[in-house]
Structure 1
């Protein structure tokens, strides 16, 4: 029932056929190290964040990110900072989708 077929000598991985038909081992390729990703430090100041949430009734991370034009992670850190300072408070939400309101 069809077993493993043997490959020709020149077709094996790691071998190279020379000009006279002789078989030589191929030089080993060096593994390249993956380049590290550049860390981008995008921040948003509180004044710009307050302008973004000024007219919102329900403040969510997604709505702040869209209004301010930043990533979700940046908007999330802004809201957590504002919550720690007492500017906004959590009023609802579940499973990571929290809803905040401004403290008057």
Structure 2
């Protein structure tokens, strides 16, 4: 099906080695002391509960979208509310849980 592959000529091989040297110089310019910031985002109870009141079926994805936070933050918030018996899980599977607010 396929034929023999073309082997790079000597001129192409020398150019690729020169490019590799330039890339190493560029990466050396970036300081290694840069650290990733740890951002902590919290959902205020008043804002979170107000948003939950307007929803029929509460999912992690819909809560995250409506509050403008990451899914992991919304998931932790819903788990905390479940432990406080404010919401209960009524369905779902495999990480796609559906919650309902307890009245």
Would you call these one fold, judging by a TM-score over 0.5?
yes
Matches within 5 A, 1:13-52: 33=32, 35-52=34-51
Query: Cα distance, 1:69 vs. partner?
Result: 1.4
Using the size of structure 1 for normalisation, the TM-score is: 0.67
* Partner Cα separation in structure 1 for residue 33 and residue 95 of structure 2: 33
Query: Cα distance, 1:75 vs. partner?
Result: 0.8
1:66 corresponds to: 65
Query: Cα distance, 1:36 vs. partner?
Result: 1.9
Query: Cα distance, 1:84 vs. partner?
Result: 0.6
Query: Cα distance, 1:35 vs. partner?
Result: 2.4
More helix by share: 2
| Unaligned segments of structure 1, at least 5 residues | 15-28
* Partner Cα separation in structure 1 for residue 41 and residue 59 of structure 2: 19
1:17 corresponds to: none
Using the size of structure 2 for normalisation, the TM-score is: 0.68
| Unaligned segments of structure 2, at least 5 residues | 1-6, 22-27
Larger Rg: 1
Query: Cα distance, 1:74 vs. partner?
Result: 1.2
Q: CA RMSD in A?
A: 2.7
Secondary structure at the aligned position of 1:64 is classed as helix
1:83 aligns with 2:82: yes
* Partner Cα separation in structure 1 for residue 73 and residue 60 of structure 2: 9
